[in-house]
Structure 1
Amino acid sequence: MSQTEHRAPASPSTGRWDKDADGGAPRASPPRAAAEAPVAEAGPVSRRNRLAALDGLRFLAALSVVLFHFVGQTPGSMQFIWGRPYQELFPEAHAYFAFGRLGVELFFLISGFVICMSAWGRTPRDFFISRVTRLYPMYWAAIVLSACVIYFVDTPFGHPNPRILFANFTMLQIPLGVDSLDSVYWTLWPELCFYLTFSVVVWKGLTYQRVVIFCGVWTVAAVLAPSAGIPLLTLLVNPTSAPFFIAGIAFYLMYRYRPTPLLWGIVAMSWLLALHFVLAPHGGRNNWDTWSPWRGWLILVVTVFFLLIAAIALGWTSRIRGRWLTVAGTLTFPLYLLHDIIGVTVLHHFGDRAHPWVVVGVTTCGVIALSYVVQRFVERPVAQAARRWLSSAAFSLKPPPRRPTSDRS
């Protein structure tokens, strides 16, 4: 069963996507000093345009995951949600919407591109603050809202032990061996591991050479991990997700500097490894056996994802503009985190009261509207306040001065 699919109640899917610390659309980093660029280069290319195409892509990725959960899950999951077999609900569309689960892979591609872009020129402290304030405020809000639905509404998810709730607040439930409160939270661990390992390069100072070496080392680790028999290595390098992050990083280097045979080689190797893991027995983490006649289309969809990010890296989408794309980009994270438990609960209760497509359409519009409200009135102000607080705080391992003690007789 896919990690983005629902389990039965007894065992209660995308920086990721990211953006600038100020909450706007991704921007190209300003060029670094010429001394940092490889000697063979004329210097990095400066592009200050908002990458509206990335915002649009990540919103489409989030929407594809939403529709996968509502329309395209495995037969057992569809029966679990709707109370009816998918043949009665979406007999033709079901197989097509099943590909929506690959929206997570598109998230990872975009994340590799944007995290590298947003980290360039930042100190490790700034990088840490931007990641913490990007992830945790919205994540905590999503847990609170989802927990309220699970514990106070009749849902198909049962009532998990509160211990699961507390572990999920840390975002470390996967290494703790605890179920995620919502199955879509599994993608946050690969993101955290990416941030953790990439922060080493940020600490040393981002340069073209160091980032390329990072991509090479991570690729080797991802290849060796499945057969090394070292669970900790597999947990950290996330072999099935790594090729997408690595390709995204290489695409950003193309965008910042220029395409080279070396970068295209990294992308090609990542594309091959991505297809290997997607087409592996049981689809790596996704059980594609249910749609075995469609395996050729898996290759096509993943390849299209790579081509879309390549188009952005080569500057072919620079004329794509629009504030609505920027707004849509800000909704992707809350939409991804909120749609599953809330949306599926609505489908479970109202799925037999109107035509299935009407229920899906209204529910999808509803979770998008909810995402806007939460992003506008919860995530943004909390993240801004947290950013100001952390920016003014001193990060040091030295103990702070002791409080003065008054003499008492």
Structure 2
Amino acid sequence: MTQTDRRASAGAATRPRNEGAVTEEVLVPQAPPAAPVIVAGRGTGRDRLAALDGLRFLAALSVVLFHFAGQTPGAMQVIWGRPYQSVFPALHDYFAFGRLGVDLFFLISGFVICMSAWGRTPRDFFISRVTRLYPMYWIAIVVSACVIYFADTPFGHPHPRVLLANFTMLQTPLGVSNLDPVYWTLWPELCFYLTFAVVVWKGLSYQRVVIFCGLWTVAAVLAPAAHIPLLTLVVNPTSAPYFIAGMAFYLMHRYRPTPLLWGIVAMSWLLALHFLLAPTGGRNNWETWAPWRGWLVLAVTLFFLMVGAIALGRTRRLRWRGLTVMGTMTFPLYLLHDTLGMTVAHHFGDRFDPLLLVGVTVVALVVLAYLVHRFVERPMVRAMRRSLKSATFVPQPPARHR
């Protein structure tokens, strides 16, 4: 590490050990004083950004409310047994915007994954990502499968091979439908982890993350025009701008804002809006949902502004521990709410007031998410991490016997 890097690292709070050194002095901005550091999915209130946890929970809650009260008229008819106009006549149009909570998820993921990977070896990064995704995902699949196959649900009864393929989390490239519709977001996340692992393998640095952002932006732009299905499958053009902007925001948080980083964020914002407002083949299906374009622009812009405020330290004083707890519940809530919540609405939608039913069910799902995380997911993660850390990835040749 050069003398310049030592000066840059001195101001960063809780800087991870063994960080890849940045040797190009002209590209290394000075680290902001007392910059807080977040570790994705773990840690105490001291090493997390509480505002980011709270924002992630709000994104999950918006998706939950969307599935209850903001889906397409056809889906609402199937779930509630009657037209949405008679269920949520005044709220449907507002809750419909909850589908954009997924885009906020991706934006936060770019920030969090870049932060959590900094200073880690490829082995540590692999273990952290596998144990972050798979234990809770497997729990959700078991719960969803029990509900789908043994109860009357709006999800039908998929072929058992769908269940088996979903356990791998590779159902999208396998051409198999998701057991639960919300699982579609896991493939873009997984692709991000796999491609970003190359940067982790080379050693994370300011330059390499910037180069990765640039290459992924170019690939996201070229993929739709290249008509190469494999490239589009891996690059995920409509989701990529959010991940890329999140990484750029993290670099602002770790070092300082620069014109280059603002340029990456601006380009990602423009591409995100392009794919969202595209008439065909974009992020939104205009045949099922066609709000005023200005509201979409405003929502996406608000997402960028909120994460940007966190990156620039504007929310540094927000340290309420409850937000950190909410952050730990986000993944269980997201994975469990759809099958369970829609089944409850399907069975009891005509027996109780819809708003009361939604309120009670959402509260119950939040409590369930906390209990599952605390008593099921966390022990599984710990056991899985111990197992993987003790495993030998490159076996030694057997000793020769004399």
TM-score using structure 1 length? 0.89
In structure 2, the residue matched to 1:401 is 398
State the distance in 2 between where 1:186 and 1:292 align. 22
Give the stretch that moved more between structures: 124-133 or 371-380.
371-380
State the distance in 2 between where 1:58 and 1:353 align. 33
In structure 1, the residue matched to 2:164 is 166
1:337 and 2:361 are equivalent in the alignment: no
Change (3 A) 1:156 1:34: closer
Cα offset, 1:402, TM superposition: 7.4
Find the residue that maps to 2:309 and give its secondary structure. Answer: helix
In structure 2, the residue matched to 1:200 is 198
The match for 2:304 among 303, 306, 310 is 306
Query: Structure 2: which amino acid aligns with 1:151?
Result: Y
1:391 and 2:379 are equivalent in the alignment: no
The match for 1:36 among 22, 25, 28 is 22
Give the stretch that moved more between structures: 27-36 or 350-359.
27-36
Find the residue that maps to 2:318 and give its secondary structure. Answer: coil
State the distance in 2 between where 1:217 and 1:42 align. 21
Aligned residues: CA RMSD: 1.9
Cα offset, 1:281, TM superposition: 1.5
8 Å CA contact 2:19, 2:118 repeated in 1:
no
State the distance in 2 between where 1:290 and 1:144 align. 31
8 Å CA contact 1:37, 1:207 repeated in 2:
no
In structure 1, the residue matched to 2:44 is none
In structure 1, the residue matched to 2:122 is 124
Find the residue that maps to 2:393 and give its secondary structure. Answer: coil
Find the residue that maps to 1:384 and give its secondary structure. Answer: helix
State the distance in 1 between where 2:260 and 2:330 align. 32
State the distance in 2 between where 1:267 and 1:37 align. 24
What is the number of equivalent residue pairs in this alignment? 378
Find the residue that maps to 1:331 and give its secondary structure. Answer: helix
In structure 1, the residue matched to 2:252 is 254
1:47 and 2:45 are equivalent in the alignment: no
8 Å CA contact 2:22, 2:207 repeated in 1:
no
State the distance in 1 between where 2:286 and 2:50 align. 32
Find the residue that maps to 2:176 and give its secondary structure. Answer: coil
Cα offset, 1:185, TM superposition: 0.3
Change (3 A) 1:402 1:360: farther
In structure 2, the residue matched to 1:65 is 63
Where do 1:101-112 residues align within 5 Å? Answer: 101-112=99-110
Change (3 A) 1:123 1:261: same
8 Å CA contact 2:57, 2:330 repeated in 1:
yes
In structure 1, the residue matched to 2:178 is 180
Query: Structure 1: which amino acid aligns with 2:35?
Result: R
Query: Structure 2: which amino acid aligns with 1:204?
Result: K
Query: Structure 2: which amino acid aligns with 1:401?
Result: P
State the distance in 1 between where 2:222 and 2:166 align. 30
Cα offset, 1:282, TM superposition: 4.6
8 Å CA contact 1:62, 1:335 repeated in 2:
yes
Change (3 A) 1:88 1:391: same
8 Å CA contact 2:253, 2:311 repeated in 1:
yes
Question: Which deviations, in whole Å up to 9, do the C-alpha atoms of 1:183-204 show, x marking residues without a partner?
Answer: 1000000001000000000000
* Uncovered stretches (5+) of structure 2, i.e. residues with no partner: 1-12, 37-46
In structure 1, the residue matched to 2:143 is 145
Where do 1:212-361 residues align within 5 Å? Answer: 212-282=210-280, 284-361=282-359
Cα offset, 1:154, TM superposition: 1.3
Change (3 A) 1:339 1:29: farther
State the distance in 1 between where 2:20 and 2:197 align. 23
8 Å CA contact 2:140, 2:336 repeated in 1:
yes
Cα offset, 1:156, TM superposition: 1.6
Question: Which deviations, in whole Å up to 9, do the C-alpha atoms of 1:312-337 show, x marking residues without a partner?
Answer: 11100001111110110000000000
State the distance in 2 between where 1:402 and 1:338 align. 49
Identity over aligned pairs, percent:
74
8 Å CA contact 1:173, 1:180 repeated in 2:
yes
8 Å CA contact 1:247, 1:270 repeated in 2:
yes
In structure 1, the residue matched to 2:134 is 136
Cα offset, 1:389, TM superposition: 1.0
* Uncovered stretches (5+) of structure 1, i.e. residues with no partner: 1-26
State the distance in 2 between where 1:293 and 1:286 align. 10
State the distance in 1 between where 2:217 and 2:96 align. 28
Change (3 A) 1:81 1:201: same
TM-score using structure 2 length? 0.90
